[in-house]
Amino acid sequence: MHSDIVDLRSFYASPLGQLAERSITMALSSIWASVPNERLVGLGYALPWLERFGADAERALAFMPATQGAVIWPSAGPSATALVFDEELPLVDSSVDRMLLIHSLEHTENPRETLNEVWRVLAPAGHVVIVVPNRRGVWARFEHTPFGTGRPYSRGQIAELLREANFTPAAWSDGLYFPPSQRRFMMRFQSLFESAGRRLWPIFSGVIAVSAQKRLYQGVPVAQRASRRVFVPVFSPQGATRLGRQIKEPSGLGVPGAQWR
């Protein structure tokens, strides 16, 4: 189940959320190669980073899962937000240059199907950038932040998922080395914890960020994937009795041997 859109907005509007956004931005900056006039799509809740990294993009779209909810973005101009089903994105094949997944993969019902759908919509030289909670980190153990919900991952698990979906991991990064404390005196040492964590305890970061490139070959599925949409049964009219059917009269209730049409 995805986090609620109201909870996500409230978190990133709080002082702790603003520090978390800054730390994730630093992690993404180290693996984000600038590509002018690219087509960028964010899946999950990627609004803070679409505004930072989508300035040079030809277009930037915010796809939000229907179970999460959506908000209007950007605040000025035509809306670029859409409610989507993460295993059936409303895009044609090879139509996107880069996809950014934040607060997405850890909540999906089937991560492999989601990555297969991302592979489908990415261009041949496209990249996917994923941010997920680190299963070894402290942030995955506290539910007062969005990183404490869903399924945390290790680097090995993310790398395996990407290879199964025909992606090649190209660059890795980490973020959120400071504790997820809402106390102001602890948040004052955020920069100190970040710099010390990168040197002393990098494996205990709060999130893992990875940039992966789409491979140009794709395995053919053996069986067709069953649709995950829910179909509601409705009443259907029964077929009419075939004309000309002969029904024999029961004995003793009429003329013996009589037939009805």
Q: What is the pLDDT of residues 136-147, one digit of tens each?
A: 999 999 989 999
Residue 249 has a pLDDT of 47
Q: Where are the domains of the chain?
A: 5-214
How many Cα atoms within 13 Å fall on the side-chain side of residue 35? Answer: 16
Residue 258 has a pLDDT of 45
Q: How far apart are CA 127 and CA 34, in angstroms?
A: 12
pLDDT higher than threshold 90 for residue 67 = no
pLDDT higher than threshold 90 for residue 42 = yes
Average pLDDT, whole number, for the chain? 85
Q: Which residues are CB-contacts of 173 (< 8 A; sequence separation ≥ 6)?
A: 27, 28, 30, 31, 208, 209, 210
Given pLDDT bands bounded at 50, 70 and 90, which one contains residue 7?
Answer: very high
pLDDT higher than threshold 90 for residue 177 = yes
Q: What is the mean pLDDT of residues 175-184?
A: 91
Residue 75 has a pLDDT of 84
Q: How far apart are CA 137 and CA 160, in angstroms?
A: 20
Q: Which two tokens stand for residue 218?
A: 């794709």
pLDDT higher than threshold 90 for residue 15 = yes
Q: What is the mean pLDDT of residues 143-159?
A: 94
Q: What is the mean pLDDT of residues 168-185?
A: 93
Could you tell me what percent of the chain has a pLDDT over 90? Answer: 60
- E strands in 103-149: 122-133
Q: What is the mean pLDDT of residues 96-109?
A: 95
The CATH number given to 5-214 is 3.40.50.150
Q: What is the mean pLDDT of residues 80-109?
A: 94
Residue 93 has a pLDDT of 95
Least confident of 11-20, 114-123, 242-251: 242-251
Prediction pTM value: 0.81
Q: Which two tokens stand for residue 109?
A: 């019902």
Q: What is the pLDDT of residues 213-257, one digit of tens each?
A: 999 865 555 555 555 655 455 454 444 444 444 444 444 444 444
Q: What is the mean pLDDT of residues 109-133?
A: 95
Inter-residue contact 187 to 19 (CB < 8 Å): yes
Q: Which two tokens stand for residue 193?
A: 């914890």
The closest alpha carbon to 140, from 157, 161, 117, 163, belongs to: 157
